[in-house]
């Protein structure tokens, strides 16, 4: 039987404001969509925390032996500056400022996004669609929304009529708002806008003559609205009704609220069963902002090239730091906090190393089954990583007691304890043992240097066939030898 059948997972649903028992639409299978980055600048630390939260959620669902289709998009068009329907597309603005093609901007920052997530040991999503790759699907959804009576065209742009939609549906249910209050707190339109109501949002924007990114549509040469992209990509790969939709807390309104409205207008049903939102990251007690200088990039943490931290910290230490707070809690990043996290991380890794050297006894004096279930209960309680970490440090205490022969485990319990520690530390939390990686690199370097010495001897003996064989077989596994005046070096 799959592991999920023995565990009761509860998820905090932003739609209901309560923890709910998770029941997938199709048993054993989960569809999960997470709003990805808008690739107009380097990925910032707050983004990393949000995506890390969903990486751990993805990892735990896989650990429970669900089949998960995880879709995380790339927004490469349509995200207007300041998240409103007027103004300039973020990517087009960056392209104009740097005198680049928009797709050069997209490529540069998509590569940066992937590099950072790889450094932090993220699992890749099942599908990573782009907004520009789904223009046709977005146009078709707009047609359906117009046919449903809540979409209207004005001067080549198309808008969603929020007031009309709200007569039969509840716009604002996710964010706890009501349309009357929203209308009361906004100014009347000044006559220069094509919108019928201030709350209406763009489904398609007519491109101004200077706008670089544009596509033909039945209404104008233009580009899709930001909210529409996620509706098109989530429903294409997960269907009109799927299990989990996630993103940062800042996306709850208006982005996710608009997604719900679009889906309901198209299909007549609510699109998602469980809405999940990760909270923000602050720096030294204040909101992160490039404009104030209160900001640090993930790469600057890894290199130490910043004025905020006392030294460089590894990706695993930074990852461990972030997972010490629940994903729905605000987390403050500071030098003191990450220094403390580094100490905890090292204690955990030292225990994992010691665990390899513990021998089984004839009897068990520790209740491993209860400890193991406590680990599962932590993650089953809305993916509570800080409580899981507390249980893992209880496991560290067990390791130390076992190492000092103050407690014992029989072979079956020792195997179960070792397997559980490894599963939660490495598979679920996604931490890496940097000591093991360093040792592995040292062993690799020693082995390759030995082969270089053997190759040098073969060349001295004029055994060029063996010399070439060593070089070619190393190259075949990704290790390139370089002969120079100073001798032979290698690169992986």
- Mark the binding-site residues for Zn(2+), compressed into ranges: 35, 230, 255, 259
Q: Among candidates 132, 305, 299, 110, which has minimal Cα distance to 232? A: 132
Count of CB atoms situated within 10 Å of the CB of 468: 13
Count of CB atoms situated within 10 Å of the CB of 242: 23
Determine the distance from the C-alpha atom of residue 234 to the mean position of all C-alpha atoms in its chain, rounded to a whole number. Answer: 16
* Angle CA 304–306–307, to nearest 5: 125
Q: Among candidates 53, 62, 18, which has minimal Cα distance to 35? A: 53
As a whole number of angstroms, the distance between CA 421 and CA 388 comes to 11
Pick out the residues of the known binding site for ATP. Answer: 290
Q: For residue 122, what are the CA distances in angstroms to 52, 347, 427, 491?
A: 7, 23, 11, 25
Q: In residues, how long is the chain?
A: 492
Give the phi and the psi of residue 108 in degrees, each rounded to 5. -60, -50
As a whole number of angstroms, the distance between CA 474 and CA 168 comes to 67
Pick out the residues of the known binding site. Answer: 35, 230, 255, 259, 290
């Amino acid at each position: 039987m799959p592991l999920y059948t023995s565990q009761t997972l509860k998820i905090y649903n932003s739609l209901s404001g309560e923890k709910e028992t998770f029941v997938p639409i199709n048993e054993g299978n989960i569809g999960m969509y997470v709003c990805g980055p808008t690739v107009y600048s380097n990925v910032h630390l707050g983004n990393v925390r949000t995506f890390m939260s969903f990486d751990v959620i993805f990892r735990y669902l896989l650990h429970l032996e669900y089949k998960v289709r995880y879709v995380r998009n790339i927004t490469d068009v349509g995200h207007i500056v300041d998240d409103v329907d007027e103004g300039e597309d973020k990517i087009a603005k960056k392209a104009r400022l740097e005198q680049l093609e928009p797709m050069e901007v997209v490529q540069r920052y998509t590569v940066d996004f992937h590099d950072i997530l790889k450094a932090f040991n993220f699992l890749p999503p099942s599908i990573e669609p782009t907004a520009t790759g789904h223009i046709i699907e977005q146009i078709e959804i707009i047609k359906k929304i117009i046919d449903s009576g809540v979409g209207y065209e004005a001067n080549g742009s198309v808008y969603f009529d929020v007031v009309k939609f709200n007569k039969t549906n509840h716009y604002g249910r996710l964010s706890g708002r009501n349309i009357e209050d929203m209308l009361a707190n906004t100014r009347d339109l000044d006559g220069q806008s094509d919108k019928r109501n201030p709350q209406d949002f763009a489904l398609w924007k007519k491109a101004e003559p200077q706008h670089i990114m544009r596509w033909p549509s039945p209404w104008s040469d233009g580009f899709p609205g930001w909210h529409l992209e996620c509706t098109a990509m989530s429903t294409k790969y997960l269907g009109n009704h799927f299990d989990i939709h996630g993103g940062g807390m800042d996306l709850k309104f208006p982005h996710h609220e608009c997604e719900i409205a679009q889906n309901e207008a198209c299909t007549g049903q609510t699109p998602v069963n469980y809405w999940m939102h990760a909270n923000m990251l602050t720096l030294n007690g204040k909101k992160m902002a490039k404009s104030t200088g209160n900001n640090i990039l993930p790469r600057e943490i890894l290199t130490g090239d910043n004025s905020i931290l006392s030294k460089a910290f590894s990706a695993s230490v930074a990852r461990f730091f972030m997972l010490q707070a629940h994903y729905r809690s605000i987390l403050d990043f500071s030098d003191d906090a990450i220094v403390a996290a580094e100490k905890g991380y090292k204690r955990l890794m030292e225990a994992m190393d010691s665990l390899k050297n513990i021998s089984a006894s004839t009897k068990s004096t520790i209740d491993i089954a209860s400890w193991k279930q406590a680990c599962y209960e932590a993650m089953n309680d809305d993916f509570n990583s800080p409580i899981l970490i507390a249980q893992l440090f209880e496991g560290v205490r067990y390791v130390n007691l076992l190492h000092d022969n103050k407690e014992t485990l029989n072979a079956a319990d020792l195997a179960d304890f070792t397997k559980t520690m490894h599963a939660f530390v490495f598979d679920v939390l996604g931490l890496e043992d940097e000591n093991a990686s360093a040792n592995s690199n040292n062993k690799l370097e020693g082995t390759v240097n030995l082969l270089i010495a053997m190759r040098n001897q073969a060349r001295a003996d004029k055994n060029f066939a063996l010399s070439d064989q060593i070089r070619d077989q190393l190259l075949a596994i990704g290790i390139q030898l370089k002969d120079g005046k100073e001798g032979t070096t290698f690169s992986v």
